[in-house]
Structure 1
Amino acid sequence: MSFESVLNESEFSAIILENRSAYEQDLIEFNELLQADYLFLGVKKAHSISVLIGLSHNSSIPQMEYELKGSPCESVLITGPCGYESDVCVHFSEDQTLKALNAEGYLGAGLFNEKLRDIGVLVAVFKTPKKDISEWLQVFSLQAKLFSTQFQKDFFATKTAHNLSLIDEISRMSHTGSWEFYPETEKLIWSPETYRIHDLPIDSEINIQKALDFIAPDYLAELTFAFENLRYKQCPYDIQCQIIDSSSSVRWVRASGKAELYKNGAVKRLFGAFEDITEYKTALILSADRAKKIQSILNNINDAVFSIDTRGTITHCNDVALKMFGYTRGELLAQSVEVLMPEPYASNHAFYMRNYMETGVGKIIGVGRQLPAKRKNGDIFQMELSLSESSDLGEKGFIGVIRDISERIEAQDTIYNLAYTDPVTHLRNQQWFHQRFKDLMLRASMNQEYIHILLLDIDNMAQINTRFGFGNGNYAIRKVAEQLLFVIGHDYEIFKYGGDSFVVLSKKTYRKEDLHKFDASLVESALLSPRHFDIVINSVKWSLTASLGSAIFNPQGQSFESIINVIEQAVKRAKKSAPFGLCHISEDGFKEFDRYLDIKSKLEQAIESDELSIVLQPQVTHDGTVSSFEALVRWYSKELGPVSPGEFIPIAEESYAICEIGDIVLRKTLNVMSNFVKAGLNTTIAINISARQIVMPDFINSLLSRVNQFGIPPHRLMLELTETALVVDIELVKETMLELAKFGFRFSIDDFGTGYSSLAYLKVLPISELKIDKYFVDDIGKDFDGKAAQIVDAILEMAKALNVTCIAEGVETVEQLNYLKGKGCERFQGYYFSRPEPEAYWAELKQNPTLP
């Protein structure tokens, strides 16, 4: 809500006094830092300042008032914040209040409203000179701004509360509530009156499905169709319908809805109103009761009415019947009713009539039935027929009432399609897939057979939506769906799954002995063909990419949820090989996923129970001298036994757990280094810093706090960053590295050559070391056309160009060592020298030990 009125002096006073204890506490907390003898918060009047809250050495003093003229507060309100180190009474000799307080130092700043007009002051008085008054002036001014902001917040909160109360009262009087729906988050919001209309506690959890559950069955289709039409076509609606509230009372409501759009035409929100019109409708019904006979006739003529005799001849029909079937009255009267029936009903009608007249037993007499009917032009439509016996002057006959229900059936089909069909691609949606998949799982479980399921996720749809808008994004999804539908073949069916994903499910199930005949790669390669993802939008060709997860499994012993989790996890792994990454999971993959869940669930417990430890692997020079160590984390689980870092580190990187592990490694490493220093071992220890960890807001302060706690010089710690960490937020990482470098920290780029770092950034980052990844060192000396050696040579040359040290990881053979030495590599690390060992193993080492 917006207000023309602004915070003035009287409202300012009311807010201060209403929240006196809170503001007084704020002043006390601020004065713990400032150490003023007096601290005042006052409101401006015509010629004076009225002190609303005052402190003397953190004790409250009574309200008081003093003249503005000739006081420093007058200067504050005219020129802005000011401070006086001493002799403030000399500067303002007319200010009797300052003299009474024996003031020497003074700080003052204005308090202002949202129009930046001063309406009060914040004043601090010191009985002794305040030598650092200029340093405190900016802080004092900032505190005044914080108080001003809080006053404005409290003012608007009060105003808003008053206005909301007024709106709620108006809603109560008019029995009209409101609703809002945000399609992007599927969030539905009701006003208090809307809750009252539905007889629900205010702020009860509500969503679209729960809201629709209140609609009376006779109106559910109409309102659902109107809402979907509003959501996807932005067509407003205004409908009268019935609801059944939480106490099972039936109410009449008038429901309306409109759409608010973004500038690009996408739906921002849907909103509307609920008006309780039960009293109005009740009055109409009472009025209708007074004319029951007339209303009965009117109800009858809404349907086609026929009279026929015992031979099946039409003796009478109303105007609706003529319009419904397309005949004139002369064309129908005296004709057999069979003219209104399609085959085989027309040919069998005479037999049914004769049988009823002889036995008195009929299948449709007195029972409403849905049957096909035929118009004059030959069109067949569905009718609802109600047939009853009649007697006219003692002669038996029949009256048939016919209702054309073709539109109702069409609406039901529409609702069905809305429920089970994706509106963009017109494929069966996720709800339909769930039903179909569960049925297939049951069938396969009973027969000990296997199912093939694939989940395809488009990688870069966000770029399409951002560049071309959601309308064109939907067009791209639809085109991809058409291509995929064309290639999956008759043995598979495809479903829309999520915003930009598709599930492909085998229609058949396969026996275990037949799996060797089944080639899953055929459909996998067909789905990942790049040509399916080339889309032309606004004459611009755009190439999408996709990732595919594929699984063949026996569903026996597996839950629906676990299978979905496995296939979604497969897609995540496939994305690591993007573009067009594929991850195929066999039956063993489900065991691997169970292992993944087990590790994930126990990792947090491992952190809390201190199951993580570190080991040290030495880094040596040409002559085998240990120059430094790398700290590596290890986990021995009480339940799982030893867990490889290759297993738990990627899982930890999915969440904040990697930061907690990084903090544990840092703490334990600094403790080891402290012990080394005490033992006289002068060395450096390198630790790995994750991408999540280095971009944390408190990383710098936390790291400095840790090294200060253990008394370790920063240059004794080498911080290893992977190239992946550099590209998370390169500017933020660069800023963090440069700041830490000022304190003496050094940096190493780990796994160099396997990531995506820019050489331009390597040139400006404070890097001390490049580490050649084991992936390249392993292939030195092997028959790979010398490519690995060429890459190693290039990294060494780059290290020289950057004037940084180069260290090779994973050195395991003398051939590798000699090659690296010959190319000028300065330091080495690997099993050739030593495996990673715990601190105790290295505790007895002397200064700069040499490894054999």
Structure 2
Amino acid sequence: MKIRKHLLKESEERLRLALATTHQGLFDLNVPSGSVTVNREYATMLGYAYESFHETAESWRARLHPNDRELVSKVYRDYAAGLRPDYRVEFRLRTSDGSWIWIYSVGAIVAYDIEGKPLRILGTHLNITERKEAELRQQESDQRLSFALDSAGIGDWNMDLRTNIATRSLQHDRCFGYTEAVAEWGYDTFLAHVHELDRERVNSAYMAAMAGQGDHDVEFRTVWPDSSIHWLLSKGKFYFDDNGTAYRVAGILIDVSKRKSAEASMLAIETRYSMLFENSMDGVLQSTTDGVVVAANSAACAMFRLSESEICQKSRSGLVDMKDARLPLLLAERELHGHAKSELWMIRGDGSRFEAEISSSLYNDHSGSRYASLVIRDITDRKKAEADINQLAFFDPLTGLPNRRLLMDRLGQTLSSAQRTGQISVLIFIDLDHFKYINDARGHAVGDEVLKCIAHRLTPLLRQEDTLSRIGGDEFVVLMASPSHDLDRATHAALAVAEKIRLALSEPATIEGQKFNVSGSIGVTLLPKYGQTADDLLREADTAMYRAKNAGRNRIAFFELTMQKKIEERLAIEHDLALAIAAGQMEMVLQPQVDVYGNAVGGELLMRWTHPVRGPVSPAIFIPIAEESGIILQLGNWTLHQGCQALVRLAAAGRQMDLSINVSPHQFRQADFIEQVRAALAQAGADPTHLILEITEGLLIENIEDTIDRMLELARLGIRFSIDDFGTGYSSLSYLKRLPLFELKIDKSFIQDMPRDPDDTAIVQSILSMAKHLRLRVVAEGVETRQQADFLMAAGCDAMQGYLYARPMPIDKWMQTEMTLTGEGGAR
């Protein structure tokens, strides 16, 4: 017995040493007395000092967590009754600070009484708080994961390969069409639910993963209990022991039927699109919104004569004519509405251009990036066909000129505009004289060549906005749209163009080395007239043409007889005026300007024209014609030279005085006018300080700064300036102080009713007062009565000019007279 007790004591001592090494608490419970002996680690674990700690069965139960008491009691009862091999249990104990720790306790009964009741229990306490808290956190995480997977429609599973038993979530079984959990599930059960067409592939993937060849990742079809087919995605991971043998596999299961269906639909769409893209007869491009091409079909490659990669490198700027004004409009409309259509000029790889019909739309790809599609159709052939149809419909096939149909359309538009705006337009009818003789003598082929030659000859004579048409046979019509608002100017323009046409037709036409003389009879009418139609106009011009033909052919006739006479007279004057200087018909006459004493202090040189047939022609007639025709430049230069020569003659005769000559605004604005003045002065050797250039107020209306610069440059030569007909123009008085002026000439319209007309009298007085303040000399024109002269002298006028003192006369005659201009000898 002593030996047995000794051995037990040694065993207990070894146990204490082992427990001290592993930091486990040791307890020794005396069951009958309830006293407990513990080691230092036991007390320390609960937060007590070992020296003052006393444990009893009663105090231990008081520290036990209320929720764990039933569990601990049951484990002990089962162990004591022999239902468990040992006493093992986890529970919570309260520490000295009131907190709870988790204890893993293992114990055993080491002594019984004679009745077999426990006398002594020996056991250990191990603090497993950290592990339990980790397990609780893991359990909470697993619950959250399970909730998330279930909410996302993901089933999870875990299968023990040693038992072939799988634990699954309810969502796992739902993926196979079950509303409630299946009782048993193993790999065979799983494989039986895989569609027979996918079963071998799925099994091969499973076996490969189990052999360590990657994770299990496979999509397959399953047949639900209602016979419907669904697609599932199964992902699993195998776990291997130290020997490399798989012992567990866990994973997830997802119903991907909707995605597979969408993919199938998308694949079908992409397949159809690909077929359309590649097989379309139209060119198709895909590009970014800023024009970078990302794809081109074979039709586009053929159209641009480039490979797809070459098209992508060129992008928009290399494929589209960027100068095409329609491009910005198409891009703006596409941006606004998402789609647009237009026609654009495109550029092939060899640099040649072709016109295409473009249909473009914007779209977003699956990632949300913005792209554009462009369908391109080469419309070169269509445009050519349209042009051919238009040419046949509206143009003469022989000459290429507009035909009668197009002429009448344009004539109708011009007439409507003219009736609305009052702008005058012109219609000219041309019929070739004796053209039938050419056809009869040389054949229609030669006649056709003559017609083409005439069309080519007449076209450059017209403005771009005018229409030259061939309306049939040898008849041509010209529509001049809105040459003027003024009837006289429009009539003059019509006559000028008609005369150019007549002269151009008179030139021989050389066909096949032979010359043919062709002339034309030309009829002219103007529009609009009240109630006039396009047919009326054509008939009027045709009537005028026959009047010209009946008058002897190769002539111009107007539909209105009065206008015809006026135009012919104007044309004749213009023609003769151009020859007048060379023929010696022009003459300069002098009208003196006198002071208050009747002495000649200056004079004005005036132009006179004596025609050999018409006799004297009034300046009121020929000066406006000279202005409109441009002959005024020739006349103005001649006047300048005559004025300089007159200054020299007067100086040589001892009658040196200031002479005024008129300068046309048109002449003054010529770029070489200053040089003309220098040349005239140098050639005659005249003194420029006695030359006065008379200009009108109209010269000051346009480009005043340039006018002032020219006047200042001429003033530096010594030349002085006078404003003629002062008070009748539109210039601003503010310019008077800036201009290098010498005098003002009061227009005779203000003098003739003076002094009985108070308005004219007030105007003249105002001009004289203003001139005095500006220190300008004043000459009054058109003085014809003593009352006018007396008033002007009393008002302080510097000089007077008019019939009261002298009519204009040749310079030689004026110098020969010895009479004193007192106002008594003037003849009317």
Same fold? TM cut 0.5:
no
Q: What is the TM-score of this pair, normalised by structure 1? A: 0.35
